[in-house]
Structure 1
């Protein structure tokens, strides 16, 4: 594959999948700028490893797998652990937002989205990939290296937990 062909293909996948990958990364790291950096890393890896792509899956699935691995590597990294320690330290110093700022922040984030982020990662991941990214159960199984029955179970349990949390938080009650 020539450099020009690689450039054109990379440009195409960036336009087609960039936003989806950013949302996926955000679902893991919960910070927009870091999510964007991780997606940038994904595209760099895509470009350098494009000739090794075996076409055993779709390019979308391959990019999702790279993004998930980037996110998991970041969450294991020293820089992430250091930033989390700083957040905890700041929280312990009783640095708080005003009531108005807290209300605006809660409103901005959205209650359902916030509730999804309270789910354990294995359920949050399933809910996000299935409902927001609209991947099939088969695609999720392939992407994460899980059996389809495991994916079905996690989606079902994730839905149940999400429903309970939403009822508890009085979201969408009539």
Structure 2
């Protein structure tokens, strides 16, 4: 990663996928943008420190995941989460029409994925959306491949249960 032109192409190549990855963690487009911007700034500042032990894409994904985890542990996130829950409760109480509005199937599936715990959500996104292999996901998440296989199996099972429950609710 020697010159600025190379870094510009990396921004173009990976910016959108890193944004989607961060969004799956933080569930806020604006926060995801901030995280990705921070990742690119740090990557640019530390470009000389990149050892090349993994691909640059893997390196950026790992940085994005770490930064997303940092955000989820922060006081700011916990405070925002509490504020949003209070606002959501007030909104639901005042707007029952909003509950009747239906969403597209893709929207519903995306919401169900976002409801999963982070450890399951991240393997689903990396495996199905980012097309990483189990070995690559293990490297990105710094886990054993057996752990990734287990998480992927459990994530699929949870999604199956969530979708089945939704189907029973709609049909029953």
TM-score, normalised to structure 1, is: 0.88
Is 1:140 aligned with 2:131? no
Deviations 1:91-140 (A, max 9, x none): 45x23363554555844971111111122211111111100111110110
d(CA) in 1 for partners of 2:129, 2:153: 15
**How much is the aligned-residue C-alpha RMSD, in angstroms?**
2.3
Answer yes or no: is the 8 Å Cα contact 1:127–1:158 preserved in 2: yes
Gaps of 5+ in 1: none
Is 1:95 aligned with 2:91? yes
- CA 128–152 in structure 1, closer or farther in 2 if over 3 Å, else same: same
Is 1:76 aligned with 2:43? no
d(CA) in 1 for partners of 2:118, 2:8: 31
Gaps of 5+ in 2: none
Moved more, 105-114 or 134-143: 105-114
TM-score, normalised to structure 2, is: 0.89
d(CA) in 1 for partners of 2:102, 2:5: 40
d(CA) in 2 for partners of 1:160, 1:103: 28
SS of residue paired to 2:46:
helix
Q: Which residue of 1 aligns with 2:33?
A: 36
